[in-house]
Amino acid sequence: MSSQAFDLLILGSSSASPTSERNPSAQLLNISERYFLIDCAEATQIQLRRFKAKFQAIDHIFISHLHGDHFFGLPGLLSSMHLLGRKQDITIYCPKELKEVMDLLNNVSDTRFNYKINWVFTNNDGLNLLFEDDKVEVYSFPLKHRIFCTGFLFKEKPLPRKVDKYKLDKFRISTADIMLLKNGFDVVNKDGETIKNETVTFSARNPKSYAYCSDTIYNPKIVDFIKGVDLLYHECTFLNDKKERAAQTFHSTAEQAAEIAKSANVKQLLLGHFSARYGDLDQFIAEAKPVFDNCLLATDGKRISI
């Protein structure tokens, strides 16, 4: 994959229970070779193997909430990482009780991993920066579910400008000045002349963004957090035939997910977290499209280049 990858791999698209076709929630997001695992249902390590993802490359795991279909695969994944020789740290962003769970599991099994877990606990305080490096920022934001739950927002930082190498020669610019150009500065060439940045560079593509919203009742308050993202994953456990049940269980319908996508003016909507009662997933698309046209289904193994 290129160093500017922004690729999503769906590891599970079912709600609470696995079906023969669909595992519960987990996704792997690759942004410029940073591998972010988002939720980790039971058997996520098996899905990672099945879809040929290198799971030791994962250094950051984000857990939205502590319903089992979003984290029961974490203990097994962390154990396998240990057994297969992992040494490098891993950081887990999650509700604070998850550390208690892992501590108890390692205690009862008398296990001590050969690598360190850094714990970063999520909170309810609006948009909250969890991770940042030179290329990426990741935020959590509150969702409204039966228990404490957050969504996650992954944003590329603005990309460096592209340098037109042909013009470097033409304008007699030293290669030592390329970094200045990429970062938008004007430079002085070998003849002592100032060369305007835009003369020899052009802008890279716009930075990309991905928002993950699972699990949540229909809640227009999240729109501010996810405005204009390139791809929005929004849960739709139900169709409108179960709109009441959706509200009772703090879940959404496909139409409601589309309403959120429309209000937030996102570019594309990814539907997932389907109840096992639905065999034909095209019904979700049929329900969402009249409200928001550019939508697609999360299915296990699907790869989406954002």
Q: Is 50 in the site for its own copies (CB under 8 A)?
A: yes
Structural tokens at position 37: 């695992």
Q: Is 85 in the site for its own copies (CB under 8 A)?
A: no
Is residue 293 part of the annotated active site? The answer reads: no
Minimum distance from residue 95 beta carbon to its own copies (Å): 8
Size of the site for its own copies (CB under 8 A): 36
63/232 with CB nearer its own copies: 63
Minimum distance from residue 230 beta carbon to its own copies (Å): 32
d(CA 126, CA 131): 15
List Cα–Cα distances, 53 to 219, 222, 299, in angstroms: 34, 31, 16
Contact with its own copies (CB under 8 A) among 111, 128, 199, 240: 111
Concatenated DSSP letters of 221-265? GGHHHHTT-SEEEEE--B-GGGHHHHHHTT--BHHHHHHHHHHTT
Residue 292 sits at φ, ψ, to 5 deg, of -145, 115
Q: Is 104 in the site for its own copies (CB under 8 A)?
A: yes
d(CA 59, CA 91): 6
Binding mask 138-177 toward its own copies (x if CB under 8 A, else -) reads: --------xx------------------------------
d(CA 217, CA 237): 10
Specify which residues 18 forms β-bridges with.
none
- Please give the residues from 19 up to 38 whose contact with its own copies meets the rule CB under 8 A: 20, 23
d(CA 263, CA 223): 7
Helix (H) or strand (E) holding 49: helix 44-50
84/176 with CB nearer its own copies: 84
Which of the residues 7, 59, 69, 177 is marked catalytic? 69
Contact with its own copies (CB under 8 A) among 105, 117, 180, 285: 105
Minimum distance from residue 91 beta carbon to its own copies (Å): 20
Q: Is 300 in the site for its own copies (CB under 8 A)?
A: no
Neighbours of 103 (CB within 10 A): 10
**Do the Cβ atoms of 92 and 100 come closer than 8 Å?**
no
d(CA 29, CA 8): 5
Minimum distance from residue 79 beta carbon to its own copies (Å): 5
Minimum distance from residue 20 beta carbon to its own copies (Å): 6
Which residues are marked as active site?
69
Chain positions contacting its own copies, by CB under 8 A:
16-18, 20, 23, 42-43, 45-46, 49-50, 66-69, 72-73, 75-76, 79-80, 83-84, 95, 97-98, 100-101, 104-105, 108-111, 146-147
